[in-house]
Structure 1
Amino acid sequence: MTATESPTASAEVQVLLSVLDAQRRHVLGGLDGLDAEALRRPVLPSGWSCLGLVQHLALDVERFWFRAVVTGDPAVIASLDDIDDAWQVAPDVPHTEVLDRYRTETAFADSAVDAVDADTPLAWWPHHLFGEPHLHTVRDVLLHVITETACHAGHLDAARELLDGRRWLVLT
């Protein structure tokens, strides 16, 4: 049973998790069939790779917003300064490790919001990064993460087409 099917999550949280899950599937599905070299190949002038974007989603999005901000996990909060640039994947890190980390972080995120109401206040706010809070509830974080994940899924669509011509959900 996934978080989107959980009888403990509020109906609104279930719907938001379902939408987020669709965007997460888009991210991973858009990368299906790319080998390790292609996943690491930058295709835009900024130099990011598909693998770097997935690592960013795992660490700077899923882990940060759900494990730090929503739950206030002290170990995660303490480790945030240890992340140099999540967009850059070290050459010795296997691509499978990055993809698995993303899946793991999404599962933690689902667990973090599975049994709460959308109006649940956030446990921690990174004042040092963002100043006064502009997000206040689990609903706000879910909407923010849905938006960011969807935006990056679109980036991956463009990168994938540049890498091998494949387009997401094109039937021809």
Structure 2
Amino acid sequence: MTEPSAGQPDPEIAALLDCLTGQRKHILGILDGLDEADLRRAVLPSGWSCLGLVRHLALDVERFWFGAVLAGDPAVIAALADEPDAWLVDPDVPAAEVFDAYRRETSLADAIITATPADTAPAWWPTDLFGKQNIHTHREILLHVIAETACHCGHLDAVRELIDGHRWLVLTG
């Protein structure tokens, strides 16, 4: 494996981060142009909204996996216990604030991702909530987050199409 240059992330981590960045752009892009009402509307029987999914990604995915699990940041770990259901967005919170929080969490996560070698073990794991840890390296955390974010991209693609017919990727021949 190629060693990273001074100040540069491991090439493997950089490639994985590029993939994750693409999925994050998809999350924001598929929602571009929706008004507050549509961003808050539950379209599926499970009841989540587009804003709720973005908030979930910010708190339960980016903050949890990188700030808490990978970095073991005590402040982030402590905040997890006080956080209400991430899928729920208070009606008084503007959509822009939810999107800003997602961008902020991805930026914080990127700093952790680029500073951490691929084989680094997680610093913390909530065994009381999730049982035995089955993700053992930074690489595995990144792959998990890429898969989860991509899955949620698909959820948002379907919901956006149901709302107004807009599709993120349309191939024409």
Give the TM-score band, short-chain normalised.
Answer: over 0.9
1:10 equivalent in structure 2: 10
SS in 2 for 1:30: helix
1:97 equivalent in structure 2: 97
**How far did 1:115 drift?**
2.0
SS in 1 for 2:134: coil
Q: Calculate the aligned-residue CA RMSD, in Å.
A: 1.2
**Residues 1-172 of structure 1 correspond to what in structure 2 (within 5 A)?**
7-170=7-170
SS in 1 for 2:31: coil
Distance 2:115 2:71 in 1: 12
Q: Which runs of 5+ in 1 are unaligned?
A: 1-5
Equivalent position amino acid for 1:135 in 2: I
**Any idea what the Cα deviations from partners look like across 1:103-159, whole Å, max 9, x if unmatched?**
010011110011221101111111111111101110010000000000000000000
Q: TM-score, normalised by structure 1?
A: 0.94
Ranges of 4+ aligned residues in structure 1 off by more than 2 Å: none
- Percent identity reads 65
Distance 1:122 1:45 in 2: 35
Equivalent position amino acid for 1:112 in 2: I
**How far did 1:80 drift?**
0.6
SS in 2 for 1:45: coil
SS in 1 for 2:119: coil
**How far did 1:171 drift?**
5.1
Q: TM-score, normalised by structure 2?
A: 0.93
Distance 1:62 1:115 in 2: 15
Q: Which runs of 5+ in 2 are unaligned?
A: 1-5
